[in-house]
């Protein structure tokens, strides 16, 4: 049976950047109930940095209309020359990108030594050191490449980077893909995956017996940050105590 856990939803912050001010000033933005914007200068050599901490979600609109939905514990650096001769960003964590199409200026997401390139599409990048680097496409076409390998992926496909090589995922579904939304939705998802998702969102580890990790769960948690409710629901569903540390 499916479980639905309802709690008061943590609402993401939405930031709309004025392009002229944005191109002229570097910004560090940290969400903590309220957000602070600090201008670091007015020279074109400075970049803009945005960050979320555990339990925080944020949506940013860049100067060309591209939207970035940031998951918890994520950092995004936007190059100082963004929108001029290039559209380059760096990501640590997880984010969903809805990219405004510009065939003359590709959009590039750098994650370590891997670069994801698009002209205009909707895709997500996950790069959090807890799981393999992964790119998933909602619509359009995306190139994922490093110095030694590359793949082209399209709608409902995914690329995974393991052992330094970029490969197309043999199987992929958005059914159990979570991160940039405050809710967690699962269809026959393993407890191992739920544990990883909660760790990425909150920094807390669900204590689950090793021999139970592959047991599956179908249900929905309205708030990924309400770890107490998640533990209670899983305890009720499986008959063993689930705690978080």
Tokens of 3: 């479980």
DSSP 63: T
pLDDT digits (tens, 9 = 90+) for 39-72: 222 234 589 999 999 999 999 999 999 999 999 9
Taking CA atoms, 111 is separated from 127, 131, 218, in Å, by: 7, 13, 32
pTM of the model as a whole: 0.80
Residue 30's pLDDT is 33
What is the three-class DSSP state of 132? coil
pLDDT digits (tens, 9 = 90+) for 99-135: 999 999 999 999 999 999 998 899 999 999 888 999 9
Does the pLDDT of residue 175 top 50, yes or no?
A: yes
Rounded to whole angstroms, how far apart are CA atoms 61 and 99?
A: 10
DSSP 156: T
State the virtual CA torsion across 204, 208, 212, 216 in degrees, nearest 10. -40
What average pLDDT does the chain have?
Answer: 85
125 alpha-carbon distance from chain centroid: 6
Does the pLDDT of residue 24 top 80, yes or no?
A: no
Asked whether the beta carbons of 154 and 137 are under 8 A apart, the reply is yes
């Amino acid at each position: 049976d499916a479980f639905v856990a309802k709690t008061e939803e943590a609402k993401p912050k939405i930031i709309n950047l004025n392009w002229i001010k944005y191109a002229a000033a570097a910004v560090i933005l940290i969400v903590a109930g309220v957000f602070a914007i600090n201008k670091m200068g007015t020279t074109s050599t400075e970049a803009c940095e945005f960050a979320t901490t555990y339990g925080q979600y944020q949506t940013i609109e860049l100067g060309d209309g591209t939207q970035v939905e940031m998951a918890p514990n994520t950092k995004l650096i936007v190059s100082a020359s963004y929108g001029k001769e290039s559209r380059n960003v760096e990501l640590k964590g997880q984010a969903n990108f809805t990219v405004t199409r510009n065939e003359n200026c590709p959009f590039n997401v750098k994650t370590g030594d891997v670069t994801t390139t698009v002209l205009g599409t909707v895709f997500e990048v996950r790069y959090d050191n807890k799981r393999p680097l992964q790119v998933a496409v909602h619509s359009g076409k995306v190139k994922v490449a490093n110095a030694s390998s590359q793949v082209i992926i399209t709608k409902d496909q995914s690329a995974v980077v393991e052992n330094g090589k970029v490969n197309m995922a043999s199987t992929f579904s958005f059914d159990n893909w979570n991160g940039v939304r405050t809710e967690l939705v699962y269809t026959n998802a393993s407890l191992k995956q739920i544990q990883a998702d909660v760790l990425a969102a909150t920094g807390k580890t669900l204590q689950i017996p090793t021999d139970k990790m592959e047991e599956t769960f179908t249900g929905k948690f309205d708030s990924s940050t309400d770890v107490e409710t998640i533990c209670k629901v899983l305890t009720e569903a499986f008959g063993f105590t689930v705690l978080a540390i």
